[in-house]
């Protein structure tokens, strides 16, 4: 779409009745729907609110959602978005985009209450940039670790105190519900890592893991991170060419389809939050490849808390080093034979680290609806 069409969408948003600006949701990409969707659906279907949904991606699945209480607007990711957010008039903005105020998405010059919803279970202070949540007014925490980390950062850096809510994790709830109806394939292994120069699928380790597993007779499904697909669109084709003829291989570039996860027995990952979704949601083990960790905050040790992606790395399965990739085969063999014992441990970790399992959508929606009503009334 052209900049003219983006501006027209923004003008249409501004001309709406003010009741449509009581709750505004912003999505940076179509993949945000996996996290925002459960709360948006709950707000629409059970709380009877009106929602204006702003998105920066033209093929966002929100445009397929037909509801009398929903209006959707494509505003792009350029100058129109920058202008829109700076002058935004709304009561509440709900988003899963961090770094508010740091880059192009700024706080409005008008009074707006900004609410952050997490798109990963991992900790707040290593893989996120410094101050990623400082400008939000309310944060919907996945679990106690988020609340502890955010309060510690506020105290250490002297930043404003935010409202922290016990939310949970909608994507995890979906996996828990769907796992019960899925038929697992014992010989199926999924590879799903993070993105960036140290991610296993953007280095050689991911390819070597696949090569060893295919050679051992396992079916391998590689799920590429959306950002890898965006910035390196030829990665999938290269993997298929390099691994052609070695066995049963499939490369997936649209992670909205979860069927491969639901039917697999083991996940191989790196430092991706997907590892915790898989382990705690499906109660199945993860093999973590020890590529360099993803660190976007060099000062992550300032608050004196070990991130859960480091602290729980061995609790969700096995680790293999980059100079011992062949160890992935015996590791998978062992974990496939230990499914029941692992499931029990994973369920206990989920109860300890995640709020409102199975009910996170209502926990968030009820608070947003009530807060929006209070702000509208004044």
Where are the chain's structural domains?
3-169+357-377, 174-353
Query: Is the CB of residue 270 less than 8 Å from the CB of residue 194?
Result: yes
Distance CA 186, CA 44 (A): 39
Measured CA distances, 28 to 2, 35, 59, 135 (Å): 17, 12, 12, 17
Would you say 87 and 108 are in contact if contact means Cβ atoms under 8 Å apart? Answer: yes
Query: Do the beta carbons of residue 96 and residue 30 sit within 8 Å?
Result: no
Q: What pLDDT does 254 receive? A: 82
Pick the closest to residue 221 from 205, 240, 241, 234 (CA basis). Answer: 240
Q: Which residues are CB-neighbours of 262 under 8 A, at least 6 positions away? A: 175, 178, 179, 182, 184, 282
CA distance 342 to 314: 12
DSSP type of residue 159: P
Cα→Cα distances 133→28, 161, 321, 322, 346, Å: 16, 11, 33, 33, 28
The pLDDT value given to residue 182: 83
Instruction: Please tell me the distance from the alpha carbon of residue 238 to that of residue 95, in angstroms, as a whole number.
Output: 34
Model confidence, pTM: 0.93
Q: What is the pLDDT of residue 255?
A: 77
For helices 328-336 and 205-215, what crossing angle results, to 10°?
A: 60
Q: What is the pLDDT of residue 1?
A: 63
CA–CA separation, 188 vs 261, rounded Å? 9
CATH number of this structure's domain 174-353: 3.40.50.2000
Place of tokens 């007779």: 217
Give pLDDT tens digits along the chain (378 positions): 688 899 999 999 999 999 999 999 999 999 899 999 999 999 999 999 999 999 999 999 999 999 999 999 999 999 999 999 999 999 999 999 999 999 989 999 999 999 999 999 999 999 999 999 999 999 999 999 999 999 999 999 999 999 999 999 999 999 999 988 888 888 899 999 999 999 999 999 999 999 999 999 999 999 999 889 989 999 999 999 999 999 999 999 987 788 999 999 999 999 999 999 999 999 999 999 999 999 999 999 999 999 999 999 999 999 999 999 999 999 999 988 777 788 999 999 999 999 999 999 999 999 999 999 999 887
CATH code assigned to 3-169+357-377? 3.40.50
């Amino acid at each position: 779409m052209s900049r003219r069409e983006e501006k027209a969408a923004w003008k249409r948003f501004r001309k709406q009745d003010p009741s449509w600006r009581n709750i505004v949701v912003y999505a940076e990409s179509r993949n945000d729907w996996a996290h925002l969707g459960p709360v948006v659906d709950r707000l629409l279907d059970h709380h009877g609110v009106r929602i204006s949904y702003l998105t920066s991606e033209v093929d966002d699945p929100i445009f397929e959602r037909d509801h009398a209480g929903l209006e959707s607007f494509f505003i792009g990711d350029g100058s129109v978005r920058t202008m829109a957010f700076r002058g935004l008039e709304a009561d509440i903005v709900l988003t899963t985009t961090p770094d508010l105020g740091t880059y192009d998405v700024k706080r409005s010059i008008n009074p707006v209450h900004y609410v952050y919803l997490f798109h990963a279970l991992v900790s707040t202070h290593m893989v996120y940039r410094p101050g990623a949540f400082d400008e939000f007014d309310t944060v919907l925490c996945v679990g106690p670790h988020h609340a502890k980390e955010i309060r510690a950062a506020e105290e250490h850096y002297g930043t404003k105190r935010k409202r922290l809510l016990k939310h949970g994790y909608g994507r995890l709830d979906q996996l828990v519900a769907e796992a019960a109806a899925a038929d697992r394939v014992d010989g199926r292994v999924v590879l799903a890592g993070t993105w960036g120069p140290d991610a296993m699928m953007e280095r050689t380790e991911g390819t070597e893991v696949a090569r060893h597993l295919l050679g051992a007779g396992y079916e391998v499904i590689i799920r590429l991170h959306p950002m890898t697909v965006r910035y390196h669109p030829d990665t999938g084709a290269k993997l298929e060419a390099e691994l052609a003829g070695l066995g049963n291989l499939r490369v997936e570039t649209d992670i909205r389809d979860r069927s491969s996860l639901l039917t697999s027995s083991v996940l191989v990952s790196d430092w991706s939050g997907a590892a915790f979704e898989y382990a705690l949601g499906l109660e199945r083990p993860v093999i973590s490849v020890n590529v360099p960790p993803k660190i976007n905050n060099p000062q992550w040790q300032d608050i004196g808390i070990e991130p859960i992606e480091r602290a729980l790395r061995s609790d969700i399965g096995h680790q293999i080093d980059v100079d011992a990739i062949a160890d992935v085969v015996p590791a998978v063999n062992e974990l496939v034979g230990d499914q029941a014992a692992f499931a029990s441990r994973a369920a206990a970790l989920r109860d300890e680290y995640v709020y409102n399992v199975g009910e996170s959508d209502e926990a968030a929606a009820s608070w947003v609806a009530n807060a929006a009503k209070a702000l509208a009334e004044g």
